[in-house]
Amino acid sequence: MSVKEQVNNRRTFAIISHPDAGKTTMTEKLLLFGNIIREAGTVKGKKSGKFATSDWMEIEKKRGISVTSSVMSFPYKDYYVNILDTPGHEDFSEDTYRTLTAVDSVVMIIDSTKGVEPQTIKLFKVCRMRGIPIFTFINKLDREGKDPLELLAEIEDVLGIESYPMNWPVGMGKRFEGIIDRFNNQFVRFLGDEKEEITPLEQLDKAGNPTIESVFDELELLDEAGNEFSEERVMKGELTPVFFGSALANFGIRTFFDTFIRFASPPKPRKTDDGLVSPDSETFTGYIFKIQANMNPAHRDRIAFLRICSGKFTRGMNVRLTRTNKTMNLNQTQQFLASSRETVDEAYAGDIIGLYDPNMYQIGDTITAGKEDIHYRELPQFPPEMFRKVRVKNVMKSKQFKKGIEQLVQEGAIQLFKQESNDDTILGAVGQLQFEVFEYRMKAEYNVDIEFTHLGDRIPRWLAEPPKDLRLFDSRSLLVKDRYDRYAVLFENDFTLRYFKDKNKDVELIDLFEAN
């Protein structure tokens, strides 16, 4: 097969959801389609309980588990599927966001009993920012949930994306009978025990079944007042196809996945500093979106996750890291087959490979087999939400403290800010785990004990121009500089942000989610 054909068959996606919506259950069902059998519960370290803050081995264990499953690849029909895991729960970190820069489409799972939840909103924003196709799966139809029309309205209002139901549920909970597959014109009856029965719509006997009759009334309403299906708008991420089903009961999953795989995006051209690079270009290129440090404490190895953006990778090929202009031979590479890490000999744009990293790579690095100096523009800075002041306990260790912060910040483990009024060091993160890992690594790798002062959750906004009057800022609207010396303000809450905006209409504030 040509590079172009290989690339067009790639489907690289992530599943986003709020904890407990059913991501693990769905992933396990999809792996079954790939004939990859796993013991239940191996997709992630499930509900292993909270770990003690300083217990690195536990963090390691948790991360170790999520690493082997962080990319799951398998052939399905004519396609080659790569599922990237987006760490959630207490694992939520900037890596979760960064992973979303490496995928071409996203499946958003919503719990029908809960509707759109906070973590889904955060992840959705990142996908929206990238303009990638978003497919919605409304899960747990076997339970009594919210009204389907209400769920659609919630998706449209809260997330601000238009929706097109590809199927429609007939009843729910105990009265759940199945789904009308609008797209394929068939009724899929729910029989339980992972079984379903398909009847073409024209052969369906509606009379005498009031539930089905009322569903047809709803469908008529959708046909008249709802959005039209448009593949083009799905591709741009303006319209989300919505599917209903139950991951646990394995109901509606096959129809969903077959339709998803058909409409999901193959790898697209990606932006570099000098324009777009097409995925089927002959030259192998890619960028590092995540570095997993200390995967094995005995070896202190690191693995850099590379998203291939163009061309074909073959093991042992010579490539160049454009940031340092260093050339190297890619011999120690791994692919993440769903059950284990295996050496990879060949891979194509859309695939993810793991590079053994002797402390050489940084997040965002571009690698190329070509002569040109390209640099992918894939990794924006994500706005942190939690902030803490940090200081070294023993001032004699200030030097190591500085060095540790510098390296961990560069690695992308955490974000660094300086308070403008007193030069205090402030760390920003999107997830709690980032602080814990930071504290542990400062101790383990730099032998430095640190002390945190909580600043709580804050809303950061960057200033378009340096501030003219420092008196505008106080502890509720803390003026800081980021590591690139850009000014930002950490607002205590929505109220202080709005108040500030009202009072200072001439100060332009930038929300990174919108600016990227």
Segment lying near ligand G4P (by CB under 6 A), choices 18-26, 172-180, 255-263, 456-464: 18-26
Query: Positive or negative, the Cα torsion across 230, 236, 238, 240?
Result: positive
Burial status of residue 118 (CB atoms within 10 A of its CB: 0-12, 13-18, 19 or more): exposed
Closest by Cα among 107, 162, 163 to 135: 107
Residue 443 assigned as binding residue: no
CA 18 distance to own-chain centroid: 12
d(CA 371, CA 102): 24
Please report how close the Cβ of residue 2 comes to ligand G4P at its closest, in angstroms: 38
Closest separation between CB of residue 87 and ligand G4P, Å? Answer: 11
CB-nearer residue toward ligand G4P: 123 or 379: 123
Residue 320 binds ligand G4P, judged by CB under 6 A: no
In angstroms, rounded to a whole number, what is the distance separating the alpha carbons of residues 160 and 157?
Answer: 5
> Could you say whether residue 90 binds ligand G4P (CB under 6 A)?
no
Q: Any binding-site annotation on 371?
A: no
21 touches ligand G4P (CB under 6 A): yes
Least distance to ligand G4P, CB of residue 24, Å: 3
- Does 22 help bind ligand G4P (rule: CB under 6 A)? yes
Instruction: Establish whether 375 is an annotated binding residue.
Output: no
Residue 460: which of 496, 425, 485, 484 has the closest Cα? 496
Which span sits near ligand G4P by CB under 6 A: 166-174, 242-250, 312-320, 420-428? 242-250
| Interatomic CA distance for residues 427 and 408, integer angstroms | 11
372 Cβ contact partners less than 8 Å away, ≥ 6 residues apart: 274
Query: Is 44 annotated for ligand binding?
Result: no
Is 89 annotated to bind a ligand? Reply is: yes
Instruction: With beta carbons less than 8 A apart as the criterion, state whether 388 and 452 touch.
Output: yes
Q: Is 21 annotated as a binding residue?
A: yes
Q: Where are the beta strands (DSSP E) in 397-467?
A: 415-419, 425-429, 450-457, 459-463
CA atoms within 13 A on the CB side of 219: 19
Q: Does 62 bind ligand G4P (CB under 6 A)?
A: no
Contact call for residue 6 and ligand G4P (CB under 6 A): no
Kindly tell me which of 81 and 138 has the beta carbon lying closer to ligand G4P: 138
Sign for the pseudo-dihedral over CA of 180, 183, 185, 189: negative
Q: Give the whole-angstrom CA distance, residue 68 versus residue 41.
A: 13
Range in contact with ligand G4P (rule: CB under 6 A) among 17-25, 96-104, 176-184, 215-223: 17-25
Q: What mask, x for binding ligand G4P by CB under 6 A, covers residues 432 to 461? A: ------------------------------
Binding mask 244-263 for ligand G4P (x = CB under 6 A): --xxxx--------------
Query: Is 269 one of the annotated binding-site residues?
Result: no
CB atoms < 10 A from the CB of 57, how many? Answer: 11
Stretch that binds ligand G4P, among 14-22, 67-75, 218-226, 288-296 (CB under 6 A): 14-22
Quote the CA–CA distance of 351 and 346 in Å, as a whole number. 10
We find the least distance from the C-beta atom of residue 247 to ligand G4P, in angstroms, to be: 4
Q: Is 18 annotated as a binding residue?
A: yes
Question: Closest distance between ligand G4P and the C-beta of residue 143, in Å?
Answer: 5
Of 17 and 82, nearer to ligand G4P (C-beta) is: 17
* Binding region for ligand G4P (CB under 6 A) out of 117-125, 240-248, 372-380, 403-411: 240-248
| C-beta atoms surrounding 50 within 10 Å | 8
Check: CB of residue 84 under 8 Å from CB of residue 13: yes
In this structure, how many other beta carbons lie within 10 angstroms of the beta carbon of residue 318? Answer: 9
Q: How far is Cα 177 from Cα 95, in angstroms, rounded to an integer?
A: 40
Span 111-140, contacts to ligand G4P by CB under 6 A:
139-140
Across 449-468, b (16+ Cβ under 10 Å) vs e yields ebeeeebeebbbbbbeeeee
Judged by DSSP in three states, 435 sits in helix
Q: Closest by alpha carbon to 132, among 103, 109, 99?
A: 103
Q: Least CB distance from residue 387 to ligand G4P, whole Å? A: 27
The annotation status of 139 as a binding-site residue, yes or no, is yes
Number of residues that bind ligand G4P (CB under 6 A): 16
Q: Is 142 annotated as a binding residue?
A: yes
> Of 8, 24, 86, 99, which lies in the binding site for ligand G4P, with binding defined by CB under 6 A?
24
Options 4, 61, 143, 233; binder of ligand G4P; rule CB under 6 A: 143
Minimal distance in Å, beta carbon 65 to ligand G4P?
A: 13
Query: Is 142 among the residues that bind ligand G4P (CB under 6 A)?
Result: yes
Residue 351 labeled ligand binder: no
Binding region for GTP: 17-24, 85-89, 139-142
Binding region: 17-24, 85-89, 139-142
Positions that interact with ligand G4P (CB under 6 A): 17, 19-25, 139-140, 142-143, 246-249
